[in-house]
C-alpha cells in the first residue's frame, strides 16, 4: 500500500487525547489513530449519501470494504 505524508496542525489538547489512546494500547501509534479516524469520517460521509432504496445494506458493506485497512487504496 502506498502512503502519502500529510502534515496537520492540531491543538495540544487533542494531541494529548490521541497520546492517551495510544498509551492505553488501543492503537500502536498516533498515525494509526489518525488514519482510523479519517477512515471512519469518510465511511460516515459515504454511508450518509446512500439512498434508502434498493439494497442499501449491500451498499454499506461495499463502502466498508473499500475503507478496510487492506483495501483502502482501491476504488471499485
> pLDDT digits over 13-67, tens only?
999 999 999 999 999 999 999 988 988 888 877 766 666 666 666 766 776 676 6
Joined together, the cell numbers standing for residue 42 give 469518510
Rg (CA), the chain: 15
54 vs 76, residue with greater confidence: 54
CA dist 8 → 25, 48, 49, 60 (Å): 23, 26, 27, 29
Within a domain: 29: yes
Q: What pLDDT, on a 0 to 100 scale, did the predictor assign at position 75?
A: 41
- Segment 48-55 long-range contacts (CB within 8 Å, at least 24 positions apart): none
Within a domain: 1: no
Within a domain: 4: no
Residue range(s) defining the domain that contains residue 57: 12-71
Number of separate domains in the chain: 1
Within a domain: 76: no
Amino acid at each position: 500500500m502506498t502512503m502519502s505524508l500529510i502534515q496537520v496542525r492540531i491543538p495540544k489538547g487533542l494531541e494529548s487525547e490521541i497520546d492517551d489512546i495510544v498509551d492505553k494500547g488501543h492503537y500502536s501509534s498516533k498515525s494509526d489513530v489518525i488514519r482510523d479516524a479519517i477512515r471512519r469520517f469518510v465511511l460516515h460521509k459515504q454511508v450518509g449519501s446512500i439512498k434508502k432504496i434498493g439494497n442499501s445494506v449491500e451498499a454499506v458493506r461495499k463502502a466498508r470494504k473499500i475503507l478496510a485497512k487492506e483495501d483502502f487504496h482501491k476504488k471499485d
